[in-house]
Structures are given as C-alpha cells and as structure tokens.
Homo-oligomer: A and B are copies of this chain.
Amino acid sequence: MKKAPLATLLAALLIAALPAFAAKHPAAKKPAVPTKSSADIIKDSPDGDWRELDPDNTILMEFAQGQVLIELAPRFAPKHAANIREMAHTGFYDGLAVVRVQDNFVAQWGDPDGDDPAKARSLGKAEAHLPAEFSIPLKGLPLKKLPDVDGWAPVTGFVDGFPVAANPKTGQAWLAHCYGMVGAGRGNEADSSTGGELYAVIGQAPRGLDLNITVVGRVLSGIELLSSLPRGGPNMGFYDQAEQRTAIKRVRLLADMPEAERPHLQVLRTDSKTWPQLLDARRNRTGWFVYNPKHIDVCSATVPTRPGK
C-alpha cells in the first residue's frame, strides 16, 4: 500500500488551522463550547464515518513534483464525469500541461494546442460536445444544509463531501466554487466544455462563477502542488512561454490502476455525525480565539481525508 503524505497534510490542515498563530504558546487557556478540538473529533470518529475512494470516480494526476488526487462528482456533472473517465482511460491527458496559473483564482491544465484543430489532441471516444451541467434539481438531493447565512445563495450545505449551493425558488442546486474545486474550462458557449481542459480554484472562492460553468469535482489531496506553481502573465495567467508550463506525466482513473499502485485515502462522510461536530468546532472558536465568530461559510470548511488502511 502506498502512503499518501499529501492526504495527511490535508487532514492536518483542518486541524492546524484552528490554533492558527499560537505556535509560540500552543497551550489553550480558555475552555469554551465546544470543548472538543477538531483534532480530537477526528481522532474519536468511528470508522463508519469514513468512506473509501470510489475507483470509478477518482483520478490521479502525476507530475514530476508530486501527485494530485481528484474526486469526480457524477451526481452533479454525469456527462462530464463520464468524459473525463474516458479520457483518463485512453491517456488523453498524458503529456499535457498546466497552461495557466492566475494568482488568487485558478490553475488550469489541458492541451496547449487545443485551439489549433491541426494540432489538437484527439478526444478519442470521448464526446466533443456536452451539455452544460451547471445545476441539478434540488428536489430529492440529500443536502446537509448549513444554518449559516451565505451572500451568494439562499441555501448552502454539503452533498457527498462536496460544497453545494441551492435556490429553493428556482429548484436548482449546484457545486460551489470553493478552494480546491475543479471545473471544466469553456469558451463563450455554455456548452463548449468537454473536460479536456480543467481548472482548480487556488484562491478566494470565485463564487461568481457558480451557475456559469460546469464543476466536475474537487481536489482531495495535492492542491498545494497546483497552488504553489509560478503565476503566469497578465493574459489571465496563461504562460507566455511553453517552457513555463508544468508537464503532466499522466492521469489515470483509479479503476484503471493496479490495486497496489492506487493511493489509499479515506474521506469523511458528510452524512456522518462527525461532520456536523467538526463544523460546530470550526464555527465556535475557542482557546487562542478571543472573539467567537459563531459562523462558517460553505467555503471555509474542507471535508477532511485521512490515510486509508
């Protein structure tokens, strides 16, 4: 079994962010509600509150610098997920590159020659035209709602580990553009994305993109590889020179990988009892904090992962 150090880091981030600047004096002095720390909540969580990765919906991007693990969201973008699955299966992404890194916005990867029909890589059996998958019906969605006010949508919450926003008036629900979310780049036409060009959010949640582009999943581990890449130029962060790009060695669907090579990571279930406890711990800050915000937003809480067994 392969150990996933990035995953450990991600889990640690959620814990570590709490006593944010108390490095010099880590002992918390003021007990308050909730008395249990995020670290302890995670430590004490029953194994049943965690789920394994779904090999059919998880892709591994390999770079010389490390790995990025992405969970697809077929419930929200079934056709894009199917396309990405097919493209990973046929090696479409292998040898492509991160072509754009715009500070406080996105890192984007795909075919640098995608705009040139003569040079563009073939999509193979993947669909060249997909419908926009910007939202799905709210009705029947197992949405764990947050009580906290959000400026961008009437309702927010979590489904299957993904941050979700919704509007009961229109009956729509959609994946929210939080840090680490992955979307499918498109041109001016709403239905012009294929999944061949993807981006990950690496800055303040660009919620203005919600309902404007198809969100296909989220980074489970390795986002720090993408977020720390050198920024591109003033043309929306696209690199001016080919040599500035970061090459993608290959992208594989976990289901296509030998069992022994798959990363083993578990994801906290957002329909578990542990998740609302974690949200409460994050909503009510204690210890180092002198002011308790009693608030979180859907993009300020990341669903934790832990090394699998």
Residues of A within 8 A of B (CB): 8-9, 12-13, 16-17, 19-25, 27-29, 100-106, 114-115, 132, 134, 148-152, 178-180, 185-190, 192, 199, 203-213, 223-224, 227-231, 233-238, 282, 285, 287-291, 293, 295-297, 299-300, 302
Contact = CB atoms under 8 A, between A and B. Distances in A.
Contact of A187 (B25, B291, B295): B25
Contacts of A227: 103-104, 203, 227-228, 231
Given A21-B185, A151-B149, A289 B104 contact: no
A236 B23 contact: yes
Given A204-B299, A291-B211, A17 B234 contact: no
A209 B299 contact: no
> How many copies of the shown chain assemble into the complex?
2
Contacts of A186: 21
A26 B289 CA distance: 46
Nearest to A105: B17
Contacts of A207: 293, 295, 297, 300
Nearest to A148: B151
Q: Which of A24, A148, A229 has the most CB of B within 10 A?
A: A24
A244 B128 CA distance: 45
B291 A212 contact: yes
B188 A22 contact: yes
Nearest to A287: B188
B29 A188 contact: yes
Contacts of A9: 103, 231, 233-234
B21 A187 contact: yes
Considering residues A151, A178, A185, which has the most beta carbons from chain B within 10 angstroms of its beta carbon?
A: A151
Contacts of A105: 13, 17, 20
A187 B237 contact: no
Nearest to A19: B236
A204 B205 contact: yes
Nearest to A27: B188
B179 A212 contact: no
A134 B115 CA distance: 50
A188 B28 CA distance: 7
A207 B17 CA distance: 12
Given A102-B16, A105-B17, A293-B152, A285 B212 contact: yes
